[in-house]
Amino acid sequence: MTREEVFKALDEVFEEVFDDASIHVGETTTAKDIEDWDSLEHINLVVAIEKRFSMKFTMGEVTTMKNVGEMVDIILERAQ
Amino acid sequence: MHFRKDKRKEGGMKELEYPFDGEYILKKKKSIKRKLLEEKQGGIKTKIAVLGGSTTNDIKLTLELFLLNYGIWPEFYESEYNQFYEDVMFDNPVLREFQPDIVYIHTSNRNIRAYPLLTDSAEDVEQFLEAEYQKYEGMWEKIFMEYQCTIIQNNFEMPYYRLMGNKEASDIHGKINYLTRLNEKIYAYARQHDNFFINDINYLSACYGLERWSDPFYWHMYKYALAVPAIPELSFNVANIIKSIYGKNKKGFVLDLDNTLWGGIVGDDGAENLEIGQETSLGQAYTEFQAYLKEQEQLGIILNVDSKNERENALAGINHPDGILKEDDFICIKANWNPKDQNLKEIASELNLLPESLVFIDDNPAERAIVSAQVPGVAVPEIERVEHYAHVIDRSGFFEMTNFSKDDAKRNEMYKENARRAELKATFTDYREYLLSLKMHGRIQAFEPVYMARIAQLTNKSNQFNLTTKRYTQPEIEETAADKNYITLYGKLEDKFGDNGVVSVVIGRVEKNACHIELWLMSCRVLKRDMEFAMMDTLVKKCMERGIDIIYGYYYPTAKNAMVKDFYGIQGFEKVSEDADGNATWKLAVDETYENKNTVIKVEDEQ
């Protein structure tokens, strides 16, 4: 999977979780950029992304990821 | 042919029916809710307070989806994180203002304050246990007192590790032993309180897989006491309890035969070659499924057949000596070549049930698709293999039992009697002849102590055949019965097929030479049996005995009682007045020229 493909797949997950077809995420996207992305929705996002890429984040990663770019780094490293 | 199964107006949403994809529901919950709100209109409103010992946000949000899908519109109060106890025990104007109909207490073994130590004595452990339990009982008592509502309480799931290994189960210091005994105390409370229900997360977590259910990741990350992907399983279970409380359970099965109740096609293979009984593995699996259905009868769940077969062949299969279910276990058997949705609708109409109170079981996905597309609201579980049929049906929660009355237990018998009446009716062209053939006996008397509860219940349950819709408590009924200024009558009706019990109630207030009918109601189970005429004959007789020469009847319209708008007209009364809202007063002068209107029921009205 290329980095672009991961971003494309992430767009779909974000669109579904936030029920908003206009969402596009990039390297520097953070929770501040998406209105409904609060700590409670973050859980659902993590669960949906884990499911989509058949991988799991560690506790440390979930708390320290700074932006979507870092999330993609982890996905690329771990996804099958 | 292409069938749309994803979305059905008025019916349920497939995404929310068991077996569902919990992670999909969590991910799409916003768009699912949007669709539900577009499709569903009206319904029962309820106020639910979710009091949590851990995070409850997604529990509340998914519970809302399942309830909306059942036609129940919830409004929520949600406690702050882990404030379930404080919210109840300390002054809480917000919750009081909210006035919950249901309080759901979502606690888990994460809320156990402390477990016994291995060095503790048996008495210490017992005291520990009692103290932990008392905390909960005190809370429930406070809720009942303060809010007079229903309580749904989680039991405790088992811990995800076992310090002593297998000994945890039996040793009084083991956490497993401790939680098991704590659960037993909660169950004892549940047995003694009608409005208290257990949400069995101990069972749910076992079904889901305890290790996955209690993955500590979700606790340490978000303070969820269960894995987030398991949340829809929990919410669905709570939603099933709530829909059952609101009387939205299913009432019966409509079953296919070939490859559903037995292996093989009876018309092709012959009854003697069907897979049923102990001879083969497949035969055993069908036998076990039949036994599961047979067990349902104890709950008053009715069984019907909807099969594409010659009737003769269908019956040959049903009467297979190794089958558990026999012809007599079914209320309605439709074995013909008509479309299955048509048969199902006919079954519903013959049983006086709404199609959506039925569950259709068929191994053929094409038949399932037709029925679910043509009959909105009917439940059509996606069954696949016979050894898993019972599992899918069971976990769907169609018959979740919250309250169980004697009437429920007798329901099968009642439907059988009705089916026999309907069969008999079909053989008559003259309706009066049919009524006479029923050999009806009525008993019409002043209220008697043994029936006070039933009479009060009828005044609160009857909506359609009810002229004034006046509600009475049992003490009020008893008071009225004892008051000389009232004429009270109850009517019981029996026929050759069975006893319908008390089905009609009349209360008349006597004022000088007049009787004012303050209440007149009849159960719809005896519509068109002339029972209302028998009641009037007796009322007139009682009036004349007391020197009354005029009877006033009143009709107050409601959303449900249009069927009796002209009741007094049919009884020969004359309309005195009617206001703009349709409230009408009728009168009937009575004297010796009154002729009895009932000619089909033999009435016993004197002691």
- Residue B167 sits in a domain whose CATH number is 3.40.50.1110
SS3 at position B14: helix
Choose among B23, B218, B222: nearest Cβ to A48: B23
- Chain A touched by B228 (CB under 8 Å): yes
| Nearest CB to B217; choose among A13, A48, A59 | A59
Residue B347 and residue B451 share a domain: no
B544 in the same domain as B462: yes
Judged by a CB distance cut-off of 8 A, whether residue B81 touches chain A is no
**Residues B236 and B262 occupy one common structural domain:** no
Per the listing, tokens 């089909």 go with: B600
B109/B113 Cα distance (integer angstroms): 9
| B432 domain residue, yes or no | no
Q: Measured between CB atoms, which of A18, A47, A63 is closest to B23? A: A47
Give pLDDT, residue B343. Answer: 97
| Same domain? B467 vs B584 | yes
Which residues from chain B sit within 8 angstroms of residue A16, using beta carbons? 27-28, 31
Q: Is B26 on the interface with A (CB under 8 A)?
A: yes
CA distance A67 to A32: 10
Same domain, B58 and B148: yes
DSSP notation for B137-180: HHHHHHHHHHH--EEEEE-PPPPS--TTGGGGGTSTTSHHHHHH
**Looking at CA atoms only, how far is residue B504 from chain A in angstroms?**
55
Note whether B224 contacts A: Cβ–Cβ < 8 A.
Answer: yes
Q: What is the pLDDT of residue B5?
A: 37
Tokens encoding B281: 């593995």
Domain count across chain B: 3
Give the closest-approach CA distance of A1 to chain B in angstroms: 23
Q: What pLDDT does residue B473 have?
A: 78
Which residues in chain B have their CB less than 8 angstroms from residue A51's CB?
Answer: 23, 27, 229
The verdict on B62 and B37 lying in the same domain is: yes
Domain endpoint, select from B220, B245, B270: B245
Based on the fold, state whether residues B136 and B256 are members of the same structural domain.
no
A19 vs B contacts (CB less than 8 Å): 28, 30-31, 34
The residue type found at B519 is L
CA of A17 to nearest chain B CA: how many angstroms apart?
5
B8 within some domain: no
Instruction: Identify the pLDDT of residue B3.
Output: 38
CB contact under 8 A, B221 and A59: yes
Residue B31 in contact with partner chain A when CB distance is under 8 A: yes
CA–CA distance from B477 to each of B24, B71, B487, B511 (Å)?
A: 54, 35, 12, 19
Decide: B531 and B491 in contact? Cβ < 8 Å.
yes
Residue of B nearest to A50 (CA): B23
Q: List pLDDT tens digits, range A16-70.
A: 999 999 999 999 999 999 988 998 889 999 999 999 999 999 999 998 889 999 9
For residue A19, the distance in angstroms to the closest alpha carbon of chain B comes to 6
Q: Are A44 and B228 inside 8 Å of each other by CB?
A: yes
- Closest-CA distance, A52 to chain B, in angstroms, reads 10
Q: Is B582:B485 a contact under the CB 8 Å cutoff?
A: no
**Secondary structure letter of residue B600 according to DSSP:** S
The predicted model scores a pTM of 0.79
Within 13 Å and on the Cβ side, how many CA atoms surround B12?
24
**Chain A interface test: which of B27, B28, B35, B223 (most A C-beta within 10 Å):** B27
Same domain? For B65 and B101 the reply is yes
Chain A: nearest CA to B59, how far in angstroms? 12
Domain count, chain A: 1
**What CATH number corresponds to the domain at position A50?**
1.10.1200.10
Contact B228/A40, CB-based, under 8 Å?
A: no
Domain-embedded: residue B176: yes
CB B517 within 8 A of CB B560: no
| Yes or no, beta carbons of B26 and A48 under 8 Å apart | yes
| Interchain contact, A43 vs B31, CB within 8 Å | no
Report d(CA B293, CA B301) in Å as an integer. 9
Q: Which amino acid is at B445?
A: Q
Q: Where are the alpha helices (DSSP H) in B351-462?
A: 365-374, 386-395, 406-409, 411-426, 431-437, 452-461
Give the closest of B23, B34, B55 to A51, CB-based: B23
Residues B538 and B458 placed together within one structural domain of the fold: yes
- Residue B419 located in a structural domain: no
Residues B27, B135 within the same domain = yes
- For residue B466, being part of any structural domain is answered with yes
Which CATH number fits the domain that encloses residue B546? 3.40.630.30
Q: Cβ–Cβ of B229/A47 closer than 8 Å?
A: yes
Residues of chain A with Cβ-Cβ distance to B228 below 8 Å are 43-44, 47
CATH of the domain at B279: 3.40.50.1000
ipTM: 0.90
Residue B452 lies in a domain: yes
In angstroms, what separates the C-alpha of B221 from chain A's closest C-alpha?
A: 7
Q: Chain A within 8 Å of B34 (Cβ-Cβ)? A: yes
Would residue A23 be called left, alpha or beta, if left means φ above 0 and alpha means ψ between -120 and 50 degrees? beta
Q: Which of A11, A44, A53 to mutate to test the interface with B (most CBs of B within 10 A)?
A: A44
Interface test with B, best of A14, A35, A39, A47 (most B CBs within 10 A): A47
State whether residue B491 is helix, strand or coil.
strand
Interacting residues of B6 by C-beta distance below 8 A, sequence separation 6+:
B14, B15
Spatial distance between the Cα atoms of B574 and B565, rounded to a whole number of angstroms: 13
Answer yes or no: do B27 and A18 touch at CB < 8 A.
no
> What are B402-410's contacts with CB under 8 Å, separation 24+?
B402/B197, B402/B241, B402/B244, B402/B245, B403/B194, B403/B245, B404/B299, B407/B300, B408/B299, B408/B300, B409/B298, B409/B300, B410/B300
Q: CA of B25, closest CA in chain A: separation in Å?
A: 10
Structural domain range at position B38: 14-245
Q: What is the pLDDT of residues B130-144, one digit of tens each?
A: 999 999 999 999 999
Find the closest chain B residue to A61 by CA distance.
Answer: B221
For chain B (607 residues), the mean pLDDT of every run of 10, in chain order, is 39 87 95 91 87 97 97 95 95 95 97 94 96 96 93 98 97 98 98 94 98 96 96 98 89 96 95 94 97 94 96 96 95 95 93 89 95 93 96 96 74 81 85 92 94 84 88 86 96 89 95 96 88 97 96 92 94 96 96 93 77
Q: Are both B54 and B103 inside the same structural domain?
A: yes
Q: What are phi and psi of B430, to 5 degrees?
A: -95, 120
Interface test with B, best of A11, A14, A43 (most B CBs within 10 A): A43
Q: Which amino acid is at B342?
A: Q
Pairing state between β B498-511 and B358-361: unpaired
Which residues does chain B have within 8 Å of residue A13's beta carbon, measured at their own beta carbons? 27
Q: Do B23 and A16 touch (CB under 8 A)?
A: no
Sign for the CA dihedral angle at B130, B133, B139, B140 comes to negative
In a domain, B6, yes or no: no
B475 and B512 inside one domain? yes
Look up the domain containing A53 and give its range. 3-78
